[in-house]
Structure formats: C-alpha cells, structure tokens
Amino acid sequence: MTTSQTLPTDGKPPVFGLIIVGDEILSGKRADKHMPKLIELLSARGLQLSWADYVGDSPERLTATLQRAFASGDAVFSCGGIGATPDDHTRQSAAKALGQELVLHPQAEKLILERVQDVARESGLPYEPERADNQHRLNMGVFPQSARIIPNPYNKIPGFSCKGPGGGEVHCVPGFPVMAWPMMEWVLEDRYSAFFHRSTFEERSIVVYGAMESLLTPLMVRIEADHAEVKVFSLPSMDHPVHGRHIELGVKGEAAAARAAYPALLAGLHVLGAKLGPEMVR
C-alpha cells in the first residue's frame, strides 16, 4: 500500500479537488469536460468532488493556485499544461510552488524514448533519439524533483504527482480527455482505493412551492446548527416545466446524518405552513 493510501486517523476519505488549466477554456474556445468526468469517476467509488478551480496559461496565477493545492491537504487533479510548448507551464509552476528543481525523471525519459521508437517504427523511419526534436520531447518528462509518474496508456507520455509540505497531493495529467481520463482513473485505483465506498453520501430533498429563500433561511441555519455533519441546500427555479416556481430544499452528507436531519427539515417546513411537493433521495 502506498503512503497516500494510509487511512487518516479520522478514517475519512480525502477532500478531492480539481484544477483546469488553459486559456482555451476561459475564452470559450473549448468546453471543460474534465469536471463531469471526474465527478463520475469519484461517484462510482463512493467519493465526491469538493471544489474546482479554473486558471489560464499565466505562470504566476498557476503557481499560486498550485501552492494553495499543495498546502490544502487535499487530493487534487490538475488537467492541462504539462506539454513542452511555450504556453505549457504546469510542470514549471509545480516546481516553483514546491520550491524544487526541475529534473528529467528517469522513468519518464525511458517511456518517452519508447514512444519515439514506436513512432519511428510505425512510420517506417529510423530511430534517432539524438535528433533535436526527439531531445525536445524529453522536456515532457522534466518534473519537480519529488515527482512520481502517472502512466499514460494512450501514448506512454506520463503525467506526474507531487505531495506538498501541507499534505496536499496534486496529480498532473494532460488536457486531452483521451489521455487524462484513464490516467485519473489509474490514480484513484492506485492511491485511494482504501477509501472506496467507506461512506455513503446521500441527498434528501423536497420541492417547496411559492416560498421565498429569505423565509426558509432561518430554518436552514437551525438545521445546520443542530446537525453539524450535514449541509442544507436550496435550489430555486423560476420556470420549471413541471413544478413552475419552486425551491428544492434539502440536506446532504453521510447517509445516516442526512436521514437524521431530514425529518427536522420537514417538521420546520410544516411549522412554516409551506406548500410541499415531491420528495427526492439521491
């Protein structure tokens, strides 16, 4: 079992975060597909995504974002910016955030040269690892000193993971979904399998017709104060095709805690004389 799979003293799974890197996302040239996929991968294992950050191709902003991640104690996936073109800054920013030197990872070097040899063979060309363009490709294996590689089943060019002094572990993968998604799944299986399905997350909610959020807020505050292990959520809708104007009001958290808090929420709604609709469990 790897160090990152060791259970913390409280037995709780890590907090999972996501960083999406790239000007093309912020400009709207491309839509982010990584967040819904990571939510899917985590949910299939009884885990959940807690936060996400989007950052463009600014080395300074990316370094600051990675510093927060390394200091957070969270398990964080970072998608994009690990190539070797001038607009790729994730490797350099990770090293700067950690205060480490960039070095060519020996296993990454081996894998990249294997890829160069594969491409040469498939193209019917001689294998020339010393050629300038092939030497440049080795930059994709230059990682912070403490990095561990993440295998890439698509083309062998690896990603990398680093752990910060604050306990945050950041797993850096490419921006291409065909590479990133199997690499994220590999990280989950390799590093966090000890946490799979250790707890069951549950949402319980009810449709409340015609109420104002300001009227419901004191009830929400009271439920969270009385049931510290759950979060209360309110999702207003103005023009739902079935329910029209309404609020979906509910609690979410560990299944046992959510089930304990939900009757108190219902009781409070009845005291308010709220008009109630369907109930939902997710």
d(CA 262, CA 255): 11
d(CA 281, CA 28): 34
pLDDT at 184: 98
The tokens describing 166, both together, are 């604050």
pLDDT at 10: 55
pLDDT at 4 over 60: no
pLDDT at 1: 32
d(CA 97, CA 89): 12
pLDDT at 9 over 70: no
pLDDT at 3 over 60: no
HEC sequence for 124-148: CCCCCCCCHHHHHHHHHHEEECCCE
pLDDT bucket at 254, cuts 50 / 70 / 90: confident
Per-residue pLDDT of 136-193, as tens digits, reads 999 999 999 999 999 999 999 999 999 999 999 999 999 999 999 999 999 999 999 9
pLDDT at 160: 98
d(CA 110, CA 101): 20
The tokens describing 137, both together, are 């490709």
Domains and CATH numbers, the chain: 3-195 (3.40.980.10), 201-281 (3.30.70.2860)
d(CA 163, CA 156): 23
